[in-house]
A = this chain, B = another copy of it.
């Protein structure tokens, strides 16, 4: 990687890796974002016909928060031109708001008849969603409006697109009392007057923020449209993403992915790594006894691909996968980074209403069965991310690191 744009003449499509798999038409809603952009490149690299829909809301929120990606992300037009220059692959781009502009979405689906629609078009930060009434309302209206528009448009168009949605492990909450969290559905027993009924239900939700709440409400939308109209849906309940680059985004600096380190959008491990890079004590919320599920961004894009390539059958209920590979206590992560870097830990009061400590055991065999080979947290990958953090440390605004959204 170089800081000046450069053409990688040696790029070769990894398409053959799919062993002659069908080339699909894929629309990515929110394809300019942190997961959306690397997913778009990953799928385009594998010869799928990719179109991005994005209203650039994440960049606009940067403006609102007076924050920005640590890495120098380029405008979407430049990104797409660089990708074509490097690979001769064309990614279409449509700038509109999925939650507001139903007719544009309907027309796109009806005209392009995509095999799969990846739905990242949601506000995705818990702290942002809790900043004020405005942010609660924006998150609810945007996220549910986008999901409902997508499902209604699929039904109205009559196009049998497979919806691949990014959910969150946060729908389950962190109170499983020693039980392993299943993939979406929970077998239960109900007893009354000696009668016993066995049922399998959507796992009862316990969201910790308005953002997480919207994903629990999305689940009900998916279940409804699936039952009524047999819309095919894969809902991927993702853990906290760490890392920033993938094989494709590393090809050229013009393709570089976002790296958020601010108190609203920075995910915990990435925040620690930036803090370590600039010698800022690692801010740990509360005791750090919170256990959370994690996944590397390279596995994220691979999981999206796996879900797309093995779609559910028509009539199959909503397929729910837990898209995570490891669990860690936050204190253990902080201590590991602290040991690696010598930067101390700073315990700060937890800005969130959540349990101070919890166990977490999660079922995740479905994506592994489809072929995911998990990238585990290890020193060399951490070093790679630290190197990026160091390289762009001059872009870091230290005042943006603390979480100022309290709830």
CB of B407 within 8 A of CB of A228, answer: yes
How far does the alpha carbon of A177 sit from the alpha carbon of B192 in the complex, in Å?
Answer: 11
Q: A204 to chain B: which residues have CB within 8 Å? A: 199, 201-202, 204
How far is it, in angstroms, between the C-alpha of A137 and the C-alpha of B98 when the chains are bound?
A: 12
Most buried by B among A102, A133, A201: A133
* A1 contacts partner chain B, Cβ-Cβ < 8 Å: no
Which of B133, B205, B207 is A155 in contact with, Cβ under 8 Å? B133
The answer to whether A137 and B199 touch across the interface, beta carbons within 8 angstroms, is no
Residues of B within 8 A of A177 (CB): 197
Chain copies in the assembled complex: 2
Note all chain B residues with C-beta closer than 8 A to A220: 205, 207, 213, 216-217, 220
CB of A145 within 8 A of chain B? yes
User: Contact at B180–A152, with CB atoms within 8 Å?
Assistant: no
- Which residues 163-186 of A have a CB within 8 angstroms of B? 177-180, 186
In the bound assembly, the distance between CA atoms of A217 and B202 in angstroms comes to: 14
A142 CB, nearest partner CB in chain B, Å: 11
Closest CB in chain B relative to A389 CB, distance in Å: 33
Question: 23 A-B pairs, CB-CB below 8 angstroms?
Answer: A102-B133, A132-B156, A133-B153, A133-B155, A136-B152, A137-B145, A137-B152, A140-B148, A140-B221, A141-B145, A144-B144, A179-B190, A179-B192, A179-B197, A186-B190, A189-B189, A199-B204, A201-B204, A207-B224, A213-B221, A217-B217, A217-B220, A228-B353
Q: Which of A187, A220, A353 has the most CB of B within 10 A?
A: A220
Contact yes or no, B190 A191, CB < 8 A: no
In whole Å, how far is A192's beta carbon from the nearest beta carbon of chain B? 5
A188, CB-defined interface residue at 8 Å:
yes
Given contacts A102-B137, A186-B190, 17 further A-B contacts (CB under 8 A): A106-B133, A132-B156, A133-B155, A137-B148, A137-B152, A140-B148, A188-B190, A202-B204, A204-B204, A205-B220, A207-B220, A207-B224, A213-B220, A217-B220, A217-B221, A220-B220, A228-B407
One of B178, B192, B202, B217 near A180 (C-beta < 8 A): B192
Q: Which 8 A-B pairs have the closest CB atoms?
A: A133-B152, A201-B204, A188-B188, A189-B189, A217-B217, A140-B148, A133-B156, A213-B224
A28 within 8 A of B: no
- Taking residues whose C-beta sits less than 8 angstroms from the other chain, chain A's interface range is 35 or more
Q: Please tell me if the beta carbons of A145 and B140 are within 8 angstroms of each other in the complex.
A: yes
- Tell me whether A394 is interfacial, beta carbon within 8 Å: no
- Cβ of A195 within 8 Å of any chain B Cβ, yes or no, is yes
- Name the B residues within 8 Å of A228 (CB-CB): 353, 407
A106 to B133, CA, bound (A): 10
Given A152-B133, A153-B133, A190-B187: A195 and B179 interface contact (C-beta under 8 Å): yes
A246 lies within 8 A of chain B by Cβ: no
A217–B204 Cα distance when bound, in Å, is 13
- Cα of A190 to Cα of B202 in the assembled complex, Å: 13
What's the Cα separation between A137 and B141 when bound, in Å?
A: 11
B-facing residues in A192-226 (Cβ within 8 Å): 192, 195, 197, 199, 201-202, 204-205, 207, 210, 213, 216-217, 220-221, 224
Find residues 372-395 in chain A having any chain B CB closer than 8 Å to their own CB: none
Closest to A217 in B: B217
Distance in angstroms between the alpha carbons of A141 and B140 in the assembled complex: 9
Docked pose: A155 CA to B133 CA in angstroms: 8
Q: Which residues on B sit within 8 Å (CB–CB) of A148?
A: 136-137, 140-141
Residue A149 interfacial (CB < 8 Å): yes
